[in-house]
Chain A
C-alpha cells in the first residue's frame, strides 16, 4: 500500500534558525496536506497542495509539492517559540483515504 515517509523525526533549533521537514511518498500523489499539532493538542490543518511544482506561503511557512508529485516539504523561516509542535504531512494517492507521515517534532530553544 501507499507509504508516506517523513523526516526528520525530531529537530532542535535555536530561535531564529530555519527549519525544514520533508515528506516522500512511495506512489504518485493527487494532493498532499500539512497539519500542525501543538503539544497536548490535536492536529490542525495548515494547507493543501494539489498541482505539480506548487509552492504556497503562509507568512514564514513555505510549502512545496514536487514536480513528480511524490514529495513535499515545509520550510519555516526564522523559527519562533510559537512554532513548537509536530508537523504532519498527509498524502492522498489512488485511494480517497489520505496516509499520514509519522510527523516531525520541532523543538525551538529560546
Chain B
C-alpha cells in the first residue's frame, strides 16, 4: 500500500518566517509533486521533481523553492512566508513520467496559516 506522508497536518507561522514542509513516500516513486489547494481554484502545481536533485517549476513557483536530496523525500520551502501563502499544501508521488502518466498518490495535506 502506497504511503505518502507529510510532516504536519496543521501549521501556523508568522509573516517573514522560513517554512519547511516535508513529504516522504515509501514506494520508490520517481516523480514527486507539490500542489496548493484553495477554494474554487482546484489544485495548482507549485513544483515537480522527476529525480533526485531534479526539479521543474509548475504554474505558481513564485515565493517557493524545493529540495530533493533523496528519492523518497521532497521538501517545499517558503523562504519568507506571507499571508497570501495561507493554504492547503498537498504532496503527491507517482511512477515515471509517461505518457500515459501513472496515477498520483497524495499525502493527507498540510494546512498552513500565515499570520
- Does A103 sit at the interface, judged by CB under 8 A? yes
- Stretch of B12-20, B62-70, B77-85, B96-104 with 4 or more beta carbons under 8 angstroms from chain A: B96-104
Which residues of A are found within 8 Å of B98, using beta-carbon distances? 30-31, 92, 96
Are B99 and A97 within 8 A (Cβ)?
no
The range of chain A's interface size is 20 to 34
Which residues of B are found within 8 Å of A96, using beta-carbon distances? 50, 97-99, 101
Inter-chain CA distance A9–B39, complex, in Å, is: 11
Name the CB-closest residue of B to A41.
B108
Which residues of A are found within 8 Å of B108, using beta-carbon distances? 41-42
Interface residues of A in 66-110 (CB under 8 A from B): 88, 90, 92, 96-103
Inter-chain CA distance A60–B56, complex, in Å, is: 38
Are B101 and A31 within 8 A (Cβ)?
yes
Are B101 and A100 within 8 A (Cβ)?
no
Inter-chain CA distance A43–B44, complex, in Å, is: 13
- Does B48 sit at the interface, judged by CB under 8 A? yes
Are A43 and B58 within 8 A (Cβ)?
no
Listed A/B pairs (14) with beta-carbon separation below 8 Å: A1-B59, A6-B42, A30-B99, A30-B100, A31-B100, A42-B90, A42-B109, A43-B104, A45-B105, A88-B42, A97-B45, A100-B35, A100-B43, A102-B41
